[in-house]
Structure 1
Amino acid sequence: MIERQSKQRILILGGSGFIGHALYKELFPYFDVHGTYCKQEGTFSENKVFHHHCVEKDSMFLLLNKLRPTVIISAIKGDYDRQIEAHCQIVEYALLNQKCRILYISSSEVFDAKWRHPSYETDEPLSESTLGRFKISVEKLLLENIPSQTTIIRLPIVLGINSPAIFHLRQCIRHKATFEVFPNLVITATTINKVCQQIHYIINRSVLGIYHLTSNDMVHHEDLFREITSKIGDNIPIFKSVFTSNEVSYSALLPKKNKMPKGNQISISEVIEESSLNEEIVSIK
């Protein structure tokens, strides 16, 4: 029988999303876990540990003072200005509750202006996109105000049997529809199961700093999805090659100093294997 670590109350902001809900299922047997949802009223409203909260109109500080979490995992979406305001309130709460830790889910977009090489956690972020600049601003807000309570988790593309990207690929295979691939783009990747295991480890070990939770090797975007497709079955979608430039570019996160233990690492070959599992086999498990 699993014993919950009752002293740790974890609040997953965005607990109804793809990453947030997977984290909830991973952590719930071990901790006192709560989550937030905004739109999926019927799915989560009857679950007593899920709380209705929309970043555009609800007070984050009131929610935090009501639940008193010791770990906050931020995976929320919504209006960028309101998200910034919400994270300012998270900082305010953390300064008043200095045993509380913040895990912020960031992404490779913080390096989208650095496309000539892979990016490490020791590199200075630089972005040309609205999303990337927003992610950088939240990272800086947390690291400048509560560095001793903050863990930044940067993710590459997150795959796995139930991931949006693989669901879309399977739909394109079934309907012989167009699926875009980027032949000149080198990426890293991971799976939702591995991300959940790694974040569980980070919580257990009270790890702080910046972490790139990604594969330890790289692959061309087109090669990755063609290989996954070949393992799913004999049918293929209509692959549409998209060239954003004539040069090879990188959207690849790699760890340098802050590496996971070997048992918590993942390779591209493992990402491919997990992402191409038969749906019926997964449901039985």
Structure 2
Amino acid sequence: MTATDDRATRGFGIEIAIVLALSLGRSATYAVLNLIERLTRPEALSEQTTSMNQAITPDRPWLDLAYQLAQIIFALAPVALVLYLLVFRAGPMVWGMTPRRALGFDLRRPGFDLSRGVLIFAAIGIPGLGFYLAARQLGLNTTIAAANLSDAWWSIPVLVLAAAQNGVLEQVVMIGYLLIRARQLGWAWWQMWLLAAVIRGGYHLYQGFGQGVANFLMALIFGLLYYRWKRIGPLVVAHTLLDIASFVGYALAAPYLDWL
């Protein structure tokens, strides 16, 4: 790295720490604490339930909708911060591109992003469900209740929005941003790739060891695909589809399938 590059990247390490502390690094810390709390309960991990997408004021659906939308919007604040930093505190070129272009979170190649995203979803979705069921049977995971909103007209659309929020937040911050900054700092790309995967696995530990391992492995795959394609778009599509299948699928199927 040249002296010019060194000046351009000054403070990037602190910047990364702040971004993580405001977003998924914080989530990973609380997830580990939550796992410790679960492991110290009298009942086994497999006998516990992790509830996601919960109603806050189920007796007042209009207010609950406002709460749900506010949660989704504010959860995307770290994405806005990262996009701002990559544009206005861009730093050196990455793979011959500006950081914003290297992120690949735009509409330049919609067909590529959608087709590759669907393929990733198809390749990971069914094995992922099998991994979850096996981990639960082995006592390594809680039972995940993925959708617990009230029976309102807006429940399914909100679950879809929540899935999209997860896809955007996790892929833009944990894959695109971190790997771009790692490249600019002179790290070997695989170092930040592994760190991102560990953090991703960490912030899913509140669901149990099984989901922590599964998400660590998925992050490794997603990181490799981003490094190959230099586009975060397909990963956002895939992640969104995976969460839609989990959230909406659970909401529709759970009343009829006891094994979920």
Quickly name the TM-score band, shorter chain normalised. under 0.3
Select the structure with the greater relative contact order (CA < 8 A; seq sep ≥ 6): 2
Instruction: State the TM-score, normalizing by the size of structure 1.
Output: 0.25
Instruction: State the TM-score, normalizing by the size of structure 2.
Output: 0.26
